[in-house]
Amino acid sequence: MGQISDSVWSHPELDAAVARADWGAVFRAYRKFTGLSQTRLGERVGLAQSDVSDIERGRRRVTSVEVRSRIVAGLGVPVVGVPEQAGPDRAGPGGAPPRAARLPVAGLALPGTEPDEDLADRLTGTIVSVPGQRGVDAATLDWLDRLLAEHRRAEDTIGSRPLVGIMRRQLHTVTGLYERTRGPLTGRVVRLAAEHAQFLAWMAQDQGDTTTALSWYGRSHEWALEAGDADMAATTLSMKAHGAWSRGEGPKCVRLAQAARWSAPGASPGVRGMAAQMEARGHAMAGEAGAAHRLLDEAQELIVRAAGRPEEEPAWMYFYDETWFTLQRGMASMQLRQWRTAVDQLTTGLTALPATYRRDRAWYRACLAHALAGAGEAAQSLATALATVPDADGVGRPHAWQELHTTASLLLRRGAAEGRELVAALAERG
């Protein structure tokens, strides 16, 4: 058998086993998905067939760091999925992990995110395998839904960097529930894992880490398909289109946005509106004004429909309303070098955008500074840019920060003295 595709690691069962450091379950699931025999798997990780059998049956535990490293390397286990200390290797008397060894439920000190004592006990109780222990219940998943929603809103204000580690641990908590879920709740756990992976992808994209973002988007998309979640499947493609747009890849942006639209016709109006406006921005990047405006009009109609039935939109679309769409129109106008229109649309959108969206206000204000420079209003461009510098530095790197540098370059090319002043202000912060 040839090299096994890395895609095997996208399955929740394997992800859950790795998160628990349950190497017997890892071996069993890996062989099930790849068709490897115990002998062939042993060759990959430097173990005899009898050792592989003992590990799978629970007769032997992997306690050696050296053996663990061989397993990770030999099977290509994604490093982000391997906990440093977890699972059976640290079990207490009788093989049952002590309460302190249960996987943590990570969260921020935000109102409404901490479960009550009973719910916390049920949540931690579902993650470890203890005889007689009850399985996953709807209340546990309801709370994880609420916690994810709180983290999404926190990211609007504090940016993505403080949340990455927290969300990775939280995803491991979710995937740890997979093997203990039965019946209708199984699909819900997979859907929740897809949402966490999409959020991790967005945060990687926000930090300019394209490789990691694409990896997480791929995992999110696969889980969304498994869960039958058309909204998340389409959203992952739209967000990949956004990543292509941010890298200046207009044609790729268009193709991915089109895929988001035709591959998930059952998606909500808001999700389809997001895909339409992403396709429009790809056309705008190529200077195709007619196609861009036609798609923006179509997107606006869908978003107005979504606003009339917000309860039918997925939770992660909480931010996407007519204010946001006005800002998206401003982005397209800026790409088309319709500077004055872009200034008006960005100004209107920013006026209505809540202050809690600190990261996004930094981005759109940086774009407004760019549009003002393009419109020949150098003094206003500089004033807007200088007011944006602290937030662009604090929560807007690399995108808002790069947009301010683009603005400075445009001012300098046009011979405006304000360009040198902006360059100096940016240089002060490095």
Q: What pLDDT shows up at residue 79?
A: 59
Q: Which residue has the higher pLDDT, 113 or 62?
A: 62
Q: Minimum mean pLDDT among 12-16, 136-140, 154-158, 316-320: which range? A: 12-16
Statement: residue 1 has pLDDT above 50: no
Q: What pLDDT shows up at residue 284?
A: 96
pLDDT digits (tens, 9 = 90+) for 379-416: 999 999 999 999 999 998 899 999 999 999 999 999 99
Statement: residue 5 has pLDDT above 60: no
pLDDT digits (tens, 9 = 90+) for 210-252: 888 998 999 899 999 999 999 999 999 999 999 999 999 999 9
Q: What pLDDT shows up at residue 134?
A: 55
- Binned at pLDDT 50, 70 and 90, residue 135 comes out as low
- Binned at pLDDT 50, 70 and 90, residue 46 comes out as confident
Statement: residue 90 has pLDDT above 70: no
How high does pLDDT run on average in the chain? 84
3-state secondary structure the chain: CCCCCHHHHHCHHHHHHHHCCCHHHHHHHHHHHHCCCHHHHHHHHCCCHHHHHHHHHCCCCCCCHHHHHHHHHHHCCCHHHCCCCCHHHHCCHHHCCCHHHCCCCCCCCCCCCCCCHHHHHHHHHCCCCCCCCCCCCHHHHHHHHHHHHHHHHHHHHHCCHHHHHHHHHHHHHHHHCHHHCCCCHHHHHHHHHHHHHHHHHHHHHHCCCHHHHHHHHHHHHHHHHHHCCHHHHHHHHHHHHHHHHHCCCHHHHHHHHHHHHHHCCCCCHHHHHHHHHHHHHHHHHCCCHHHHHHHHHHHHHHHHHHHHCHHHCCHHHCCCCHHHHHHHHHHHHHHCCCHHHHHHHHHHHHHHCCCCCHHHHHHHHHHHHHHHHHCCCHHHHHHHHHHHHHHHHHCCCCHHHHHHHHHHHHHHHCCCCHHHHHHHHHHHHC
- Binned at pLDDT 50, 70 and 90, residue 120 comes out as very low
Q: What pLDDT shows up at residue 22?
A: 86
Q: Minimum mean pLDDT among 67-71, 124-128, 240-244, 398-402: which range? A: 124-128
Q: What pLDDT shows up at residue 121?
A: 47
